[in-house]
Chain A
Amino acid sequence: MTNPLIIVENIVKKYHRGAEELTVLNSLNFTVYEGEFVALMGPSGSGKTTLLNLIAGIDRPNSGYIFVGKDEISALSEDKLAEWRSRHIGFIFQTYNLIPVLTAFENVELPLLLTPLGKSERRKHVEIALSIVGLADRMSHYPRQLSGGQEQRVAIARAIVTDPTLLMADEPTGDLDAKSAEEVLILLERLNSEFKKTIIIVTHDPKAAARASRLVRLEKGILKEDIPTESLDSARFAEAASVFVEARPK
């Protein structure tokens, strides 16, 4: 492994629900190295999304430190953090979150509007991103004219168009049929192997987890296990993974 890219140190994250206090993450430590493809698993409510959001800089810990590259993001101001996200984070959601009134092209172009790039340069970047996800011929389609798998691939193009340091995916295949899910996973794998993107994916699907280079299990706010997949043969891995998988919430 190479240099650490993400260092999470003694993170505490609590939520308040009325008078009740809920500690979701309790003194959590976590390190991700450059070029890793990490699958984050764990039962529903264990804090996977919370952890992902903290690393992506869209939420803040109650205490502890988060470093990404040279930046201590837990110390950045609101505005600095927004700017940091635009340069370093590509986020992929379970529900795609495309803007329905914008075409595939315009959706992918959105993050570039925050850069100083001119119109023709933006076009070039968008075209490249859409061709990587195999949708160069769907640029002028609106989200409602695309299938779920295609929508998710547009969302992936939007996440990679700024060439971010990190790709974060929160159950990216959760809403997809098996075939579309497979396509999305292959795409993520390619982004990791070919484009050297560091990826963290939250998933309930062992098949998805099997594509990762490392598996992390979160339970009741504590990072319990951390098994490098290379060290397992595939039969044992499938067994290990199935242990992590909880029944998806009905």
Chain B
Amino acid sequence: MKLLPLILKNVFRKKARAILTIGSIILPLLVICLMGTFLRLLDRPDPAETRGMFRIVTRHKVGLASPLPMSYAEKIRQLDGAFAVTKFNWFGGKYIDNSARNFFARFAVEPETLVQVFDDATITQGSATDWFNDRAGSLVGEDLMKKFGWRIGDQIVLIGDIYPVTIQLTIRAVYQLPDGDSDALFFNREYLEEALPSFQGKVGTIWTKCRDGAAATRLSDEIDQMFENSPYPTKTETEKAFQMGFVSMLGNVKLLITSLGTIVVFVILLIAANTMALSARERIREIALLRTLGFSRVTILMLTLGESLMLALFGGILGLGLFVVGFRPLKASLINTPLSGFATAMTLFPEVLLLGLVITIFVGLFSGLVPAIQASMRPITEGLRHIG
């Protein structure tokens, strides 16, 4: 399109204004992407409903940073309706360095019970037995294998921070979950117990696979009641509630987030529309000139819409780019907060990026619509007489 250079020059005619407008698209768009990720996770099929995976998670009432005594796992196992129980410890530490690129979830677990509780996962390479038999072995998510280009038998060195110990692991098996990311690394807690005796007897979260939905509901209350007056009170919730963190407690979160998101979209729309209205008004004479030269109404319409679309796309693409680049650092920084459940589940959903793009295009077209129609319909002689 021969008019593209003119459109581009028009966008940046008032540089400060263009940059401010683009900025005021970038930031709200980041928020929208985050909200979209939240909504997408809320929409993610509940393993309890889709696959009969009635899992509940027990943690210290105070927070994830406070461990529970290991004996709790045994007590929970004895309750009626609990099929299998396994223990998780967030290892943290660093792989190579502390960069976001090299960040992934690492847990010290009990291998045999882990595969019982998560029996919806499949082992795609190596075998569970290989992992059980090697105390320094590890189970790695398919997505993580792909990201780092790892192979079965590769050595992974993790340098601890919460636990001051360096551990060296061999990849023995690869898992894949039926939905969501398979991007965590699991290793045998016995390895950590040997290397670090102070670790013994402590557990971060206890995961229980229940017989059915009723059992899951009943057990959640039963477990918390059982430990209510102990030195380590607990909080138990379903797997999905755990992933959504405190957000799920806020009643109709979905409606709330959707309405907030809609408001944000309209704010962007108003800002962009204001910029377009200003620039169209400044250019009344110019548009009359172009029409005198023979530019048709449709061409003028496209010139103005092209300008608003371009303006929005600059903001939109930068915003989405920033979201993609900032995604892993954000995930990493949330992992040790009350939002850790959300952070582990957080995924860069293509649908969210698509939504961002659709919103950008919507803002681009609608912000320019009224000025574009006005500009193309104004009589030429009136435009030429315009002063300003």
Contact = CB atoms under 8 A, between A and B. Distances in A.
A114 B293 contact: yes
B294 A86 contact: yes
Given A85-B293, A114-B293, A93 B2 contact: no
B381 interface: yes
B289 A101 contact: no
Interface string B290-301: 111111111100
Contacts, number: 61
Contacts of B379: 59
Contacts of B285: 97
A109 to B, nearest CB: 9
Contacts of A225: none
A101 B13 contact: yes
A102 B6 contact: yes
B27 interface: no
Interface string A85-96: 111010101000
Interface of B is mostly: helix
Interface in B334-388: 379-381, 384
A79 B291 CA distance: 10
A110 interface: yes
Nearest to A15: B381
A97 B295 contact: no
Interface residues of A, number: 25
A56 B292 contact: yes
Given A58-B380, A97-B285, A99-B286, A114 B6 contact: no
B244 to A, nearest CB: 50
Interface of A: 53, 56, 58-59, 78-79, 82-87, 89, 91, 93, 97, 99, 101-102, 106, 110-111, 113-114, 158
Given A85-B292, A113-B2, 15 more contacts: A56-B292, A79-B296, A79-B298, A82-B296, A87-B294, A89-B292, A89-B294, A93-B289, A93-B384, A97-B289, A97-B384, A99-B286, A110-B293, A114-B293, A114-B295
Task: Across the A-B interface, give the 6 residue pairs with the lowest CB-CB distance, nearest first.
Answer: A86-B294, A58-B380, A85-B294, A82-B296, A97-B289, A101-B9
19 contacts: A53-B380, A53-B381, A58-B384, A59-B380, A82-B291, A82-B295, A82-B296, A83-B296, A84-B294, A85-B294, A86-B293, A86-B294, A91-B292, A97-B285, A99-B286, A102-B6, A102-B9, A111-B293, A113-B3
Interface of B: 2-3, 5-6, 9-10, 13, 285-286, 289-299, 379-381, 384
